[in-house]
Structure 1
Amino acid sequence: MKSLLLTAALAAFAVTAQAQTAAVPRTAADQIATKKGPLTVQPITHGSVVFTWNGKTIYVDPYGGAAAYAGLAAPDVILITDIHGDHMDTKTLAELPVSKALMLVPQAVADKLPAEYKAQVRILRNGQRLDTLGMTVSAIPMYNLPEAADAPHTKGRGNGYVLNLGGKNVYLSGDTEDIPEMRALKSIDVAFVCMNLPYTMDVNQAAQGVLAFKPRIVYPYHYRGQNGMSDVGSFKKTVNTGNKKIDVRLRNWYPAAQ
């Protein structure tokens, strides 16, 4: 009898744990057509997003605990932009099935990752490019203006990324301001652009940067700052007043906060 009660208790615990994991809210995914099938865009939280494309799964800055990734495939590639804890979250990495993933990171991140990941790491510096698994990953600068040694993000430490996935160019800003390198981007199909003071840029800076490089689709993300959420509605209005052709997609990157 005790054995049966223990088995029942363990089963109930497992069901409860699964329910708790499944109950973590997540914004619905989008799909974007490419020459090699759909690109699925799954917002996670803050600066974290998961792409599924051509049979591969890409995690960007996995953060916030494994429950946010419940039900998603294990990553084939992990991109990390910076050393700050909302980008390089070693606790979340330890909870996720990442043992077979290629980790593309800047040198500063590689220097701080636990030793267990070293064999999986490929370092990309600003300006470098890697062709892997049918995709191209280019590392570009991300930094604060004006440039200063004590800035939260110094030039060369972190990476923004441009991915080419089936002919579509996808830009991930990382933590940056509207730097010349961002404004000079060409032929960006999908952009993820940050806006949170005092760490990156304000809403107007982000909008003006987007109007300069004219992505076809833009997602404002990473918009929680010291004083709460940035006004992404104002961002959309400013962008579309300047260019009605840019598809500004407002998604809830903080569903757990609702």
Structure 2
Amino acid sequence: MKPHILIIATLLLFISCKENRKNKQGDSQNTKLTESNIEKQEANANSIVGDDFVIHPIFHASMVIEHEGKTIYVDPYGGAERYSTFKDPDIVLITHAHQDHLNKETLNGLNLDNAVFVVPNSVKEELDNAYQKKSIVINNHEEKDIKGIEIEAIPMYNLPETKESRHKKGWGNGYIVDIDGERIYISGDTEDIPEMRHLKNIDIAFVCMNLPYTMTIEQAASAVLDFKPDNVYPFHFRGKNGFSDVAEFKQTVESKNPEIKIIIKDWYPETDRN
């Protein structure tokens, strides 16, 4: 064989082996990713897994949102031990000042060194001084970029509006959290107000329903049928006299508009049902 032909043959063999190794590595990586996703789904059976975020129901109205290395705690409540498996928060989002949403005992047990609080002014006024300094106030209808995540404050209040209302207009916030165009609505404690009914392009909605503080399941269903979110997760459904019938809520909504999916998650572990 001529020397230049031998050199060319050797080069082709080297390139072929390199490509084979690359393909095998790629297949191995793809397998790992697939296995990881399966494990992630199985490990988070009670969680909501999106394309690039995971939402973990914690307790009552509290959840943890994870997205590209950032962690958001929403209305942390029920004791710091519930959050022990999650990263420390980058953002703490609080809807209003009632103790099942602004829970100082839970907050004081968490590591909040790197957290920013996003709150209505009524919550900031109730926070300890150290947390006040870390707070960003957002009012109804305002929208702010917080660490690269768009957060919009939506009104939450009782109907009819009276001086005796437990939740007065402007006192607290619902929120829309926009994660790469995926719009997640968190209702806070509210009734079926016009501002909820007029929401647009909501991908995921967390809707409260408990008496006597927020909505009946009929009110909640009516509002959901108006603003037509893609997916609805009933939460905050334990009231003064027990649990709202979220199964009936699901049946009511889906029988009238089957394109709206109602998904029921466990917000109340057995130990909390007494």
State the shift of 1:107 in Å.
0.5
1:121 equivalenced with 2:139 (yes/no) = no
Residue identity in the other structure for 1:222: H
Q: Is the 8 A contact 2:46 2:266 kept in 1?
A: no
Q: Does 1:154 pair with 2:180?
A: no
Contact in 2 for aligned 1:190/1:218 (Cα 8 Å) = yes
How does 1:53-202 map onto structure 2 within 5 Å?
53-202=67-216
State yes or no: 1:28 paired with 2:56.
no
| Residue 134 of structure 1, CA deviation | 2.0
Deviations 1:105-140 (A, max 9, x none): 000000110111122100001011101222100001
Q: Which has the higher contact order (CA 8 A, sep 6+)?
A: 1
| Letter of the 1:179 counterpart | I
* Conserved? CA contact 1:27–1:43, under 8 Å: no
Letter in 1 for 2:115: A
Kindly provide the CA deviation profile for residues 30-57 of structure 1, in whole angstroms up to 9, marking residues without a partner as x: 2012xxxx21010000000110012110
The DSSP-based 3-state class of the residue aligned with 2:223 is: helix
Change (3 A) 1:27 1:156: farther
Percent identity between matched residues is 48
Please give the alpha-carbon distance, in whole angstroms, between the structure 1 residues aligned to 2:186 and 2:104: 20
Quick one: which amino acid aligns to residue 86 of structure 1? Answer: D
Query: C-alpha distance in 2, partners of 1:234/1:198?
Result: 18
> How many pairs are equivalent?
229
State the secondary structure of the residue aligned to 2:224: helix
Unaligned 5+ runs, structure 1: 1-25
Q: Distance in 1 between matches of 2:208 and 2:45?
A: 18
Q: Give the ranges of 4+ consecutive aligned residues of structure 1 lying more than 2 Å apart after TM superposition.
A: none
- Residue 243 (structure 2) aligns with: 229
Q: Which residue of 2 aligns with 1:244?
A: 258
Gaps of at least 5 residues in structure 2 are: 1-43
Q: Report if the CA contact (8 A) 1:131-1:137 is conserved.
A: yes
Pick closer, same or farther for the CA change 1:244–1:30 going to 2, 3 Å: same
Cα deviation for residue 70 of structure 1 reads 1.7
Mean CA deviation greater in 132-141 or 182-191: 132-141
